[in-house]
Structure 1
Amino acid sequence: MTPSAPAALPVVDVVLRGGRISTFADPSQGPGEVEAIALAGGRVVAIGSDSDLEPYRRLAARVVDLDGRRAIPGLNDAHIHAVRAGVSWTRTMHWEDVRSLDEALERTKADAASRGPGEWVSVIGGWHSTQFAQRRGPTREELDAVAPDNPVYVQELYDLGTLNSAGLRACGFTDESDDPPRGTLVRDERGRLTGEVRGVGAFAVPTALALRVAREEAEAGVRAMNAEFARHGLTGVVDGGGLMVTPRDYDALYTVWREGGLDVRTRLFLSAWTRGGEIDDFRSLTDLVQPGSGDEMLRIAGAGEIPHLGCHDLEGLDPFELRDDAYRELVEIVRVCVERGWRMIVHAVLDHSLTRVLDAWEEVDRETGGITGAGFAIVHADEASVANLERIARLGAGVLVQNRMVLKGGDYVVAWGADATENAPPIGTMRDLGIVIGGGTDATRANWFSPWASIWWLVTGATLDGRGVRHPRHRLTPFDALATYTRDAAWFTGEQGRRGRLLPGYDADVCVPTVDPLACPEDELRDIMSDLTIMGGRVTHDSGVLAWTRGGVS
């Protein structure tokens, strides 16, 4: 692409040259691959060959020689729970990369030593026993051995939590305790507590204690999480709200934003926070907040993924019925959001849950015409039938898919059967119907947060235990998998005209992965990181591998 005349040239922040830069342009927009790109004022200002961009190189503050390396648009996780994770990022351990029980126990011991006696030690989600060589998590006794003077709580996704003896005492759990509402204290054959707990009601007690943080630590956690995300090539995340997330949980994020400290573009979908008061939650919210409020770094995107707490079928592994009273309230919430111009995403794993959500959308759409083409989306749709996918397509809605089955393939085979699991989610059918698909992780409790593990799963359909591997019909090419994290992810927040592609006028968000995801063996996709991450023309991560020089501007 020929750059503008030299007289119109801006001062350039960064020029990347000598590379294989995937633009994700449509054929009518420009070339799909170029050698060089110029970034200025937070935007892409030119793309083309090295010789085309020579005038920009001379005006650049920084010139990066890609030496034949691949560059892609910055990755955008289209469904993650980053707000909840950020406030406690430095308060918890992270076991995504742990591959043995021994290593997990060593990390627990080290974390306890670093915090001092009496301080909580925890890891809450983001790991599964199938990633350990021993295929199990730690016991109460093993946690006692490595951290006898600290309360310890380790939670395996949303399946199982384990407390050590000090943790049980800190929670007030004894052999005589009743089970908490919506939870279970697991006991041995003699009625004594084993340290294991199950259910959200039981998880909530140690979680509230272990993740209690001061304001300064919460803000530091947001910054630390942003840095880790940038190390993986993320320049954007779309937060889905979630269970137990309240308005005050956003305080640290907004403080960091006001101070100019965000390194990852953050878009927020806001969930109901009052059980039994969901309609009032959304009436109040939409009274006070205009849709799309915010700026290029932090913006409210809409309502969801839990507009009503009675409409949430969790992971789809247990029986669930969306009751009529919850359905009627969901319809009213949808109506409120449509009237006030809010887009919506809704969690639905099971097909019968999806049926009811779509019933509510269609009911309001018949009244108002305000949903078709308005950018609504379903989160998960793992068990979606062809009939319901056709309804989604008619509404012009999208689907957000995540790689949760990487860790739990065997669990879904047990619950759903092998045939149903290998077709979940039915990505091939979605593509046949022209449904926009956004890629994400659903991290940080329900899954690993690495976008590359998700991309690997989209391509291979693989699981850690080898069970529930997705059928080839529902797998993507590496290019199409990357598109769910770039070009198509932007659709879900209405930013497809300015994000997710490397074209003039688009946001200057770039990732240079450690290996070429379009050429490497599929098994290498899962372990990719970023050597250089640029967000808005600003370097947010640099591994030091790539050589760079100054152009003519210092």
Structure 2
Amino acid sequence: MSRTSRKDTQRLSRRQFLGATAGTAIAAIATGAGPRAVVLSGQIPVVAGGGGAPELTLVNGRIRTMDARNTIASAVSIRNGRFVTVGDAVPAPAPDTRVIDLGGRTVVPGIIEGHIHSVSLANRPGYHTILENTTSIREIQETLAARRPSVPEGQWITSMGGWHENQWSEHRLPTRRELDDAVPDRPVLLYERFTGPCATNSLGKAFFDAADAAPPLHPNVVRVNVAGNGLIAEAGFTGGGPSATALYYLRRLQTFEDKKRSTLDAMSYSASVGLTAHLDQVLFPTPGPLHPNQVLSNLDQYRMYDSWLSLHREGKTIIRLQMNFLHNQSDPELPELKERLRNQFQFFGDDMMMTGSIGEWAAPLASGAVWAEAQRLVAQAGWRNENSVQNLAGLTQVVEAYEKVNKEFDITNLRWAVHHVPAVTHDLLTRLRALGCGVQMAAFRWVTSNDPKVVVGAPFRTILDHGIQAGIHGDGVHIAPLNPWLQMYFATTGLNSFGDPV
């Protein structure tokens, strides 16, 4: 089979897969509310005594309960945010009961994402547009054009992170002319992954050209230098650059109401693909005001959740969010981590929004003795702990450190974990399991893989066959899509975005 035909076949298969799963996913959330429970966002007010007819009934479906018997029911009824009947028959509906005929469609419980950076999606400037499900320049144009009617005049249409050029048949960013053809009367900016590059249309180029010609707004601003075809050069991860400056200009335009709108958009999209609970791993912390050197994965860690918190207070959140604490200091004194463990509660909040624990790491893995001391401090405080590794050497380092701290402080009941695990051995997995630890397998590398000879992790079958507690994650929304069905497709087929088995 030719490379072209493999890609065409793969693209069709992925669409069919998504159409049969995400398109029919309905989130089923049990809140555990009682008669005297506080009303939480995402919950229905509880009726005294818990009686009354169901508020929602689903009938004529294939409802996968995911219980121990793998029960598939045809109908369920829900009252006060809880399932009251599950089976083939439901109570007679009251006049105000909403009845949904599923027409034979499949329903699954809401999916939990164990490693995501959704707070970044909630802070996207402009009117963020989801491009992670597109497969060609033409589909990009259609998606941007469909977004255009809801965007006020003078406002930006953006798409930042979550997609990669490998997903598109052309394997490149769209040009200025192609973006103009889709949206000629609103500025457009597409920003790839953490640091760019970017693509913009003619109105966007005019904006950045004017900014380049004006006195700099900050000493670290550099020229954006939009090319004739609309492309903007990639920034450095720490030193800024053209794409980072372009991002800085758009972030400066954001109001708090804009951030709340982006947060609602993020929650709505997540719910639409069946992802209803997030363990957020924060962003690379850069406290203080906006800075031109900040890339898409940088924000003030003390303020980045403000819009989500505001919506939670207003009772408007529909996605469950647990927020971990990432610590990126290499200072041997570990001042921020020590204050966090001294003054913060883990797992503090309610069913819809709460603090988490330490993750994606307590200190950079490469900081050696500093990182090791951070593990000891977390264990001493009795906190849950997570570390992400990029290779077998990293996993070995983590396992040895976990074993060492366990000799001083028992961690076997704290549910520590290791994330990504692109390479493993049976011995390391066994040693982790003996410590009560689990692993989160990275299922997102299909999107950046372009060489079928290079195996990209995680080794899903090896880990599942071992028996250690395990899950998969997508690590959206910078380097990979948020859509969980794309990650599941890779984990079950082993096919990357080119249609090649990796």
TM range (shorter): 0.7 to 0.9
Aligned to 1:34: 73
Aligned to 1:380: 420
With over 3 angstroms needed to count, the CA separation of the structure-2 counterparts of 1:399 and 1:242, relative to structure 1, is farther
Distance apart, 1:361 and its partner CA: 1.9
Aligned to 2:310: 255
Aligned residue type for 1:235? T
Give the match's secondary structure for 1:375.
coil
**Which moves more between the two structures, 104-113 or 260-269?**
104-113
Aligned to 2:467: 434
Aligned to 1:307: 362
With over 3 angstroms needed to count, the CA separation of the structure-2 counterparts of 1:277 and 1:260, relative to structure 1, is farther
Does 1 or 2 have the higher relative contact order (CA < 8 Å, sep 6+)?
1
Give the match's secondary structure for 1:333.
helix
Aligned to 1:366: 407
With over 3 angstroms needed to count, the CA separation of the structure-2 counterparts of 1:401 and 1:150, relative to structure 1, is same
**8 A contact 2:198–2:232 mirrored in 1:** yes
Using the alignment, how far apart are the partners of 1:184 and 1:394 within structure 2?
Answer: 54
TM-superposition CA deviations, 1:231-287 (whole Å, max 9, x none):
112221221113224121011111111111101111111212656488222222222
2:258 to 217, 238, 251: 217
Query: Is 1:84 matched with 2:126?
Result: no
Distance apart, 1:153 and its partner CA: 4.5
Give the match's secondary structure for 1:379.
strand
Aligned residue type for 2:86? I
Q: Which runs of 4+ in 1 moved over 4 A?
A: 56-60, 105-117, 139-153, 163-174, 183-188, 273-278
Aligned to 2:17: none
TM-superposition CA deviations, 1:491-550 (whole Å, max 9, x none):
xxxxxxxxxxxxxxxxxxxxxxxxxxxxxxxxxxxxxxxxxxxxxxxxxxxxxxxxxxxx
After TM superposition, the structure 1 = structure 2 runs for residues 316-355 of structure 1, keeping only pairs within 5 Å, are 322=366, 326-355=367-396
Aligned to 1:75: 111
Backbone CA RMSD of aligned residues:
3.7
**8 A contact 1:407–1:447 mirrored in 2:** yes
**8 A contact 1:39–1:46 mirrored in 2:** yes
With over 3 angstroms needed to count, the CA separation of the structure-2 counterparts of 1:300 and 1:68, relative to structure 1, is same
TM-superposition CA deviations, 1:186-244 (whole Å, max 9, x none):
999xxxx9732143233543333333421111112111211121111222122111322
Aligned to 1:540: none
Aligned to 1:449: 482
Query: Is 1:206 matched with 2:242?
Result: no
**8 A contact 2:396–2:428 mirrored in 1:** yes
Using the alignment, how far apart are the partners of 1:209 and 1:395 within structure 2?
Answer: 48
Using the alignment, how far apart are the partners of 1:42 and 1:241 within structure 2?
Answer: 29
**8 A contact 1:348–1:379 mirrored in 2:** yes
**Which moves more between the two structures, 432-441 or 443-452?**
432-441
Distance apart, 1:103 and its partner CA: 4.8
Using the alignment, how far apart are the partners of 1:160 and 1:173 within structure 2?
Answer: 22
Query: Is 1:233 matched with 2:264?
Result: no
Aligned residue type for 2:193? L
Aligned residue type for 1:285? R
Query: With structure 2 as the length reference, what TM-score do the two structures score?
Result: 0.73
Aligned to 1:15: 57
With over 3 angstroms needed to count, the CA separation of the structure-2 counterparts of 1:170 and 1:360, relative to structure 1, is farther
TM-superposition CA deviations, 1:52-100 (whole Å, max 9, x none):
x43x756983333334432221122222111111122754333213332
With over 3 angstroms needed to count, the CA separation of the structure-2 counterparts of 1:173 and 1:108, relative to structure 1, is farther
Give the match's secondary structure for 1:73.
coil
**8 A contact 1:159–1:199 mirrored in 2:** yes
How many pairs align? 423
With over 3 angstroms needed to count, the CA separation of the structure-2 counterparts of 1:79 and 1:350, relative to structure 1, is same
With over 3 angstroms needed to count, the CA separation of the structure-2 counterparts of 1:402 and 1:329, relative to structure 1, is same
Distance apart, 1:351 and its partner CA: 1.5
Structure number with the higher strand fraction is 1
TM-superposition CA deviations, 1:277-316 (whole Å, max 9, x none):
88222222222321110100001121111322x32xxxxx
Using the alignment, how far apart are the partners of 1:366 and 1:186 within structure 2?
Answer: 56
With over 3 angstroms needed to count, the CA separation of the structure-2 counterparts of 1:151 and 1:283, relative to structure 1, is farther
Unaligned runs of 5+ residues in structure 2 are 1-48, 215-219, 285-297
Give the match's secondary structure for 2:368.
helix
**8 A contact 2:160–2:191 mirrored in 1:** yes
Distance apart, 1:120 and its partner CA: 5.4
Using the alignment, how far apart are the partners of 1:131 and 1:83 within structure 2?
Answer: 24
With over 3 angstroms needed to count, the CA separation of the structure-2 counterparts of 1:249 and 1:276, relative to structure 1, is farther
2:324 to 256, 269, 274: 269
**8 A contact 2:145–2:183 mirrored in 1:** yes
Aligned to 2:45: none
Aligned residue type for 1:265? R
Query: With structure 1 as the length reference, what TM-score do the two structures score?
Result: 0.67
Query: Is 1:47 matched with 2:86?
Result: yes
With over 3 angstroms needed to count, the CA separation of the structure-2 counterparts of 1:302 and 1:184, relative to structure 1, is farther
Distance apart, 1:171 and its partner CA: 7.4
With over 3 angstroms needed to count, the CA separation of the structure-2 counterparts of 1:289 and 1:198, relative to structure 1, is same
Aligned residue type for 1:248? R
Distance apart, 1:160 and its partner CA: 4.2
Give the match's secondary structure for 2:304.
helix
Using the alignment, how far apart are the partners of 1:173 and 1:197 within structure 2?
Answer: 20
With over 3 angstroms needed to count, the CA separation of the structure-2 counterparts of 1:112 and 1:329, relative to structure 1, is farther
Using the alignment, how far apart are the partners of 1:21 and 1:112 within structure 2?
Answer: 36
Aligned to 1:482: none
**8 A contact 1:171–1:205 mirrored in 2:** no
Using the alignment, how far apart are the partners of 1:448 and 1:41 within structure 2?
Answer: 33
Give the match's secondary structure for 1:210.
helix
Give the match's secondary structure for 1:330.
helix
**8 A contact 1:286–1:337 mirrored in 2:** yes
Query: Is 1:195 matched with 2:251?
Result: no
With over 3 angstroms needed to count, the CA separation of the structure-2 counterparts of 1:211 and 1:184, relative to structure 1, is closer
Distance apart, 1:142 and its partner CA: 6.7
Using the alignment, how far apart are the partners of 2:273 and 2:355 within structure 1?
Answer: 24
Give the match's secondary structure for 2:487.
helix
1:279 to 321, 327, 334: 334
With over 3 angstroms needed to count, the CA separation of the structure-2 counterparts of 1:377 and 1:278, relative to structure 1, is farther
Using the alignment, how far apart are the partners of 2:438 and 2:223 within structure 1?
Answer: 37
Using the alignment, how far apart are the partners of 1:186 and 1:383 within structure 2?
Answer: 41
Aligned to 1:479: none
**8 A contact 1:347–1:378 mirrored in 2:** yes
Give the match's secondary structure for 1:399.
strand
TM-superposition CA deviations, 1:415-440 (whole Å, max 9, x none):
xx53x43xx21111211221222233
TM-superposition CA deviations, 1:137-184 (whole Å, max 9, x none):
13578779988998765333347413555576577599xxxxx99x99
**8 A contact 2:319–2:352 mirrored in 1:** yes
Aligned to 1:523: none
Aligned to 1:502: none
- Identity score, percent: 24
Unaligned runs of 5+ residues in structure 1 are 1-7, 175-179, 312-321, 471-554
